Structure 1
């Protein structure tokens, strides 16, 4: 059975399963990349001929050679290789594909079962400081539709830790007095609490600043760009907002992205005494281990900030640095 035909059939199944367009695109790229590597490196184009050794060759190539990446991802700098984290993302989608092939009885053995993930270095993710947040919020003109919309979006992300895609797809009917209803990854519905001040700002945006192109437009945040006035703001609009913030504030010591707002929410939530279990539910994590990654970053950074007050050096009388008198 030809691999390309099987991939087409699998991608079609993602549509019927109602996976998001972004997820479908990610699987499409990962599997097309796999087909290209199998053909060019291993000379394999048939599904039944693929072995775990072939897949390991593909992984080794991705870890050691510079490859072309999709436009929506940041390319490796100066022709360097992909990060281990990016390679893990591809492997995860390959494994899902082969599991589906086995379940559909297209193959007897799953070649992805014994395929290992490369070890990924755990890095501390920096969060925004209060000063940086106030700096970003200060650039908006709240008397304009665009300025007020962007101001509300930033505060909503900071208050809830919503993903970029969740902010872009939230509907007017999802906004309630004390919470918003969100459809996250895997179309899992959850309720996320909002601060009373954010509730008031959302009400004001809906009734004063929101101008839909058609009366039945369900999406909450709408675009004001040329040719898209009154249409959904979308993921592209969210990306443009992050770029605008970076150009206006000059913040470069912290990655300016929607995910950093999500991480900042998690760190501030924990810093204010919130528990990890509640945080996990608020953020829509299926596994609390995912949330614990934020806790590791949070505890490490807080320990560093408290270092001076708890250092053993405080108990030691240091020698004078003054030069001895002649």
Structure 2
């Protein structure tokens, strides 16, 4: 089977033409590799150009026994994308997943933190260490600007426009947006830059990176997850949180205080307003308050 060649071409397409991140490309590739493993285990020798609908349906059926509906939907979506690419490149005339329905998963609303819980997280940071000042700036930036963790670790000094009150963010698909930066985030970034970062032995290639590890290199996504998880344990927070929880809290708190969805969409960098609606859940009391405040027949 010549799956590897097609997969490599597809990965190049995702990287160059669609501008997807390394992590996203790896997730797409994993779905295809899982199909390849199924074919190998069942001794089905067929190329991606010749594979039939029935074979793919057998694979999806086997997957449905192992994973939940959300994971199954992700796998189907990933494979549809791959075969759509093969159709686009004239390797195939049809997509073998065209008639396969994606299972309904509903909307999973992630936990959000209250302002008091965010304050407690920040208060738990040990500011006696160099990492403490950095971590405070990180938490304030994630929450104050609503950034994805990948956007935070890639943030550059040359992206900071504090006089204008903005930071320039390079998001998914290398799309740039300007996000307002609050006074708390700005203040703590400046403290970290002047008091801590200047003392580091900065590695080559990281001179323009805002947040660095203690060895002067770029922070990883995993490090940010660990920082937040450790703080949650420290304050005995029962919720399961991640860097994305701060992004979700940013959007939720803006909406609850009167911001419109379109503005939040622009700040989060969502292509579709429906994505923003998924992130931003409302309790019924807030909806009732909006109704009474703004509807002419309240």
Is the shorter-chain TM-score for this pair beyond 0.5, marking a shared fold? yes
Q: Which has the higher contact order (CA 8 A, sep 6+)?
A: 2
Task: Name the SS for the 2:177 alignment partner.
Answer: strand
Q: CA deviation at 1:214?
A: 3.2
Matched with 2:220 is 234
Bigger Rg over Cα: 1
Structure 1 position 62, deviation (Å) = 1.8
Equivalent residues of 2:109, 2:278 under 8 A apart = no
Aligned position for 1:33:
34
**Aligned partner (choices 210, 213, 236) of residue 202 of structure 2:** 213
Aligned to 2:172: 185
> Is 1:164 matched with 2:165?
no
Which secondary structure does the structure 2 equivalent of 1:255 belong to? coil
In terms of mean alpha carbon deviation, does 273-282 or 50-59 score higher?
50-59
**Partner SS state of residue 47, structure 1:** coil
TM-score (norm 2): 0.86
Mapped partners of 2:228, 2:64: distance in 1: 30
Distance of aligned partners of 1:301 and 1:110 in 2 relative to their CA distance in 1, 3 Å threshold: farther
Alignment partner, residue 2 of structure 1: 2
**Partner residue of 1:278 out of 263, 267, 289:** 263
CA distance in 2, matches of 1:42, 1:31: 16
**Residue in 1 that maps onto 2:213:** 223
- Report the CA distance shift for 1:212/1:110 in structure 2 as closer, same or farther (over 3 A): farther
TM-score scaled by length of structure 1: 0.80
The Cα of 1:8 is off from its aligned counterpart by 2.9
User: Given that residues 212 and 222 in structure 1 are in contact (C-alpha distance below 8 angstroms), is that contact kept between their aligned partners in structure 2?
Assistant: no
Cα distance change on mapping 1:111 and 1:35 into 2, 3 Å: same
Instruction: Tell me the distance in 2 between the aligned counterparts of 1:57 and 1:262.
Output: 39
Query: In the TM superposition, what is the alpha-carbon distance from 1:234 to its structure 2 partner?
Result: 1.7
Output one character per residue of 1:228-263: Cα deviation in whole Å (capped at 9) or x when no partner.
Answer: x110012121122122123322212x2211111111
- How many residue pairs get aligned? The number is 283
Q: Which residue does 2:137 correspond to in 1? A: 152
CA contact (8 A) 1:55 1:115 kept: no
**What does residue 282 of structure 2 align with?**
298
Gaps of 5+ in 2: 290-298
Query: What is the deviation of 1:47?
Result: 1.7
Deviations 1:135-188 (A, max 9, x none): 211111224220011111111111111111111111111111111111111111
Matches within 5 A, 1:47-126: 47-65=48-66, 82-126=67-111
Q: Taking structure 1 as reference, are residues 40 and 300 closer, same or farther at Cα in structure 2, changes over 3 Å only?
A: farther
